[in-house]
Amino acid sequence: MTKVIKTPLDGLLILQPKVFNDDRGYFYETFQQTRYKELGIPPFVQDNLSHSKKNVLRGLHYQKPYAQGKLVWVTQGSVWDVAVDIRLNSPTFGKYFHVILSDENHTQFYVPAGFAHGYCVLSDQATFNYKCTDFYSPSSEHGIVWNDPDLNIPWPTTQPLLSPKDKTYLCLKDIAHEQLFTSN
User: Are the C-beta atoms of 152 and 83 separated by less than 8 Å?
Assistant: no
User: Are the C-beta atoms of 172 and 179 separated by less than 8 Å?
Assistant: no
Phi, psi of 94 (to 5 degrees): 80, 0
**Whole-number Å distance between alpha carbons of 62 and 143:** 6
Which DSSP string do the residues of 96-157 spell out, in sequence order? EEEEEEETTT--EEEE-TTEEEEEEE-SSEEEEEEEESS---GGGEEEB-TT-TTT----S-
**Whole-number Å distance between alpha carbons of 118 and 84:** 9
**Whole-number Å distance between alpha carbons of 166 and 169:** 6
User: Are the C-beta atoms of 93 and 116 separated by less than 8 Å?
Assistant: no
Annotated active-site positions, please? 61, 130
